[in-house]
Amino acid sequence: MPWLSLNTQILIGSLVGVLGGWWLSAAAPSAAVSGGTLYAAKLLGNLFLDLLRLVLIPLVFSSIVVGVASLRTHNRMHRVWVTTLLFFFITMGLAIVLGFSAANIFRPGEGMQLAMFAEATQNFQARQMPLPDYIAQFLRGMFQNPFKALAQGEILAVVVAALFLGIALVVGGDRYRNIRQIIEELQELCLLVVGWIMRLAPLGIAALLLQLVASQNVALLGSLAHFITVVFGTTLFHGIVVLPLILWLFTRMSPLQFLKRAREPLITAFATSSSAATLPITLRCTEQQLHVKKEIASFVIPLGATANMDGTALYEAAAVLFVARLAGVELDLVHQIIVFAVAMLGAMGAPGIPSVGMLSMVLVLESVGLPTEAIAILLPIDRILDTVRTAVNVEGDMVGAMVVEKLAALPEAPVKNA
């Protein structure tokens, strides 16, 4: 269906999957028809998930390396990029904590346990161990032979290895430009493959939802509405209260004045759900409307479109607790710390395009052993939530540019009046 957008195709696939699952549970066809349909759906759904896992590790590795290595062209702006990275880490950390807090206070998904996830989580409890032992194992798992980690899909070890390699490329400079170029091309190839896999997304989501609905009741819909409300409200709170408050503390610009000047890129981000597509508008607005110097804006804004994802980090934190409850699992503090680290580091190199956000969610789920089949629930509602979280992502980039200019302006740049 080339005349339909991917989001429309996924919506149609979701409806087909829900209706098919309802037909299997309500109409009660013969055992042969029911068994054959569920078997085919399981094959197709597993194929879709396996294809995502196929590209996940090389994409995460190359994206993080490229994201960190991109700093090498700005060595003369040492204070600027150090301040920028600190700002990104702090605001994304605040967003993740906010997402965890909202999910723990309002507890969407509580009281439900999806049978579809039972097999995927049957070994979860066996992985529990005393806190000191778990921390020791966690630290050992972070530092492994990178080839072993890549081959076995050890997410944390892959992220750490990519982080170290990216830093080494920054320090090495032009001596390793060929390696950097090869990894950039690997990232481009991975994104090309993701585009191919996403053509199967409508069928894969339909198959996963058919299995889900066939074995569940309509109570899931109410739980989804609760989850959407919690995430939407919490993301708006971060964008309307937290980020403007940070801006006011450092620059004394009023939130209303900022939102008025920044409305064009915010509206564009809301409509396109793509920080990359909004980048030219964000850059122009930051320089012309918010009056950030070009030297600062041209570094912070493009880097932020890749590495600063407040809305996405908040969503992933809330979503992983939601999925855990649906799977009958309660994540302890250690697991939530793992999610915190993986969500933050995974966002560093994630391209600002809609379809890659799903791979980031798979990464976070796998890091704590939760079922990746949960994307069958999350992807159909992702487009609704992606609007506001992308707007908050872009807002964080603009706020970051203004704060960085205030704290770490270039030596030749005059200090602005507050």
Residues in the chain: 418
- Quick one: average pLDDT of 312-317? 88
Q: Which two tokens stand for residue 256?
A: 């209303």
Distances (CA, A) of 248 to 183, 202, 264, 406: 39, 44, 20, 12
In percent, the amount of the chain with pLDDT more than 90 equals: 18
* End-to-end CA separation in angstroms for the chain: 54
Q: What whole-number distance in Å separates Cα of residue 342 and Cα of residue 357?
A: 14
CA-to-CA distance for 369 and 187, rounded, in angstroms?
Answer: 25
**CA 27-28-33 angle, 5° bins:** 110
Rounded Cα gap, residues 336 and 340, in angstroms: 6
Q: Which domains, from first to last, does the chain contain?
A: 6-408 (1.10.3860)
DSSP state of 354: T
pLDDT tier at 121, thresholds 50, 70, 90: low
Burial call 291-300: b when 16+ CB within 10 Å, e when fewer: ebbebbbbbb
Q: What is the pLDDT of residue 170?
A: 82
Whole-model pTM over 0.75: no
The C-alpha atoms of residue 23 and residue 379 are separated, in whole angstroms, by 22
pLDDT digits (tens, 9 = 90+) for 106-120: 988 787 766 656 555
In angstroms, rounded to a whole number, what is the distance separating the alpha carbons of residues 296 and 316? 29
Tokens of 325: 């409850």
pLDDT for the residue 126: 42
Query: E strand or H helix at 269, and its extent?
Result: helix 263-272
For 210-260, how does the pLDDT look when each residue is reduced to its tens digit (9 = 90+)? 877 776 555 566 677 889 899 999 999 999 999 999 999 999 999 999 998
Residue 233 CB coordination number (10 Å): 13
- DSSP result, 231-261: HHHHHHHIIIIIHHHHHHHHH---HHHHHHH
Q: Would the pLDDT of 131 be above 60?
A: no
DSSP 131-155: HHHHHHHHHHHHS--HHHHHHHT-H
